[in-house]
Chain A
């Protein structure tokens, strides 16, 4: 079900003053055990049934490490208006393909969708990112990977409304933290999962940061990734740590579709490598 969202009407999403039947018989609540672990969280999950959307430079669907995408769209800016259309070009950098490949390596059976928000110039890139994210939130994907951020304050209100809308509509946005001393968004918002890098050579090692706004660290140093035109290279950066968490979230959401974004975030925190080590 696709619902059109506009920044100014996200407040009008359904809110019931009286608990209805859905609230009276809460699905899944009884399934959360007293003590959770990774086995409960995503043991046996391959990501089958979960859809992960990569909002980036496009994805090369033919890359051997990507293993295909179920759909690919691009944001085109014309006369100051953003249009969503089928992506005929693919990846204009290599980065989106890298993210898709990382997600596939962790959640081999998930469904991947690409939204290309680059390629229309720098000037229109703010609106392109907003419109690409809006489309992704409207589709209701289980996980939305955003390895990008903006420093422009005029987009903050729209981004905030969209990330909140995603949170309430059960789309989990996983966003790269900025590793430079600048104010940028959306990773600073509490409604998303924000990710920076650690240098542990284990794709499933993730650490909970006790000192936010960065919430989690994932593998982001010297990662072998898919790149443009069928190539591979070795890459470091928070933008490569982010799809690791997206992949893990896809495993969780595939196994526990009843969990909401804050519950998935809590589960990540409880099953983090440093939390498990602490017992």
Chain B
């Protein structure tokens, strides 16, 4: 049974590759819309409470993907916590930012637009667009447009992340005990008689309401 379930999960639900290509597409499109020198995306790793540099298009070293940053300091941390977007010019004048950027991407931008990736209540990370070869400034209208694109990107990422969690749970929840418990519950519900199943679902809905209140 669990082998079947794992096979179904692997066949139907998206895995890491799709996640990578979505992130890649987000930074490529963001960069193309604004004719920017670079675009990058940071995602929140909620367990470590850190921002992870996930993908970059244009300037910057792809090999530095995976680098971690504090989740509530610096420009990206501010945008993540406050949910507000920023357009900054001459950001290279900030010595702290300049040295961190040089170290993390190998290049120090002059102009930056940073917006949060928000899906409903969930804040998933930060999307940044850096510099224009022409040196032309980013405008507030463009920041609004980037915000709209970021919201679409965040909804897609949110869906994908939820599917990946479902995949892990269905695949046996190897990572933690709760996963296996939920898998066993799903299997038991599936094989239960109709009447018992309705009663059990009733209980599950009650637990769901309770958990959503806690969450």
Q: Which residues of A contact B (CB under 8 A)?
A: 57, 92-95, 117-123, 125, 147-154, 176, 178-182, 184, 197, 199, 220-222, 227-229, 231-239
Contacts and interface: CB of A to CB of B under 8 A. Distances in A.
B93 interface: yes
Nearest to B214: A154
A231 B93 contact: yes
Contacts of A238: 84
Given A122-B77, A236-B143, A180 B137 contact: no
Interface in B78-103: 78, 80-91, 93-97
B203 interface: no
B91 A233 contact: yes
Interface in B53-74: 70-74
A239 B140 CA distance: 12
A176 B86 CA distance: 12
Contacts of A118: 72-73, 77-78, 81-82
Contacts of A229: 94-96
A202 B53 CA distance: 38
Interface stretch (B3-11, B15-23, B32-40, B146-154): B146-154
A214 B81 CA distance: 21
A236 B87 contact: yes
B144 interface: yes
Contacts of A222: 89, 137
B114 to A, nearest CB: 9
Most interface-central of B85, B118, B140, B150 (chain A CB within 10 A): B140
A179 B146 CA distance: 11
Q: Is the interface of A mostly helix, strand, loop or mixed?
A: loop
Nearest to B84: A239
Interface residues of B, number: 47
B94 A233 contact: yes
A125 B72 contact: yes
Nearest to B147: A180
Contacts of B139: 221, 236
B85 A237 contact: yes
Given A152-B121, A231-B93, 11 more contacts: A94-B75, A147-B84, A154-B215, A180-B85, A180-B116, A220-B140, A227-B93, A229-B96, A231-B94, A235-B89, A237-B85
A234 B89 contact: yes
Most interface-central of A122, A221, A228, A234 (chain B CB within 10 A): A122
Contacts of A153: 121
A239 B82 CA distance: 10
A92 B72 contact: yes
Given A179-B143, A180-B147, A123 B85 contact: no
Contacts of A233: 88-91, 93-94
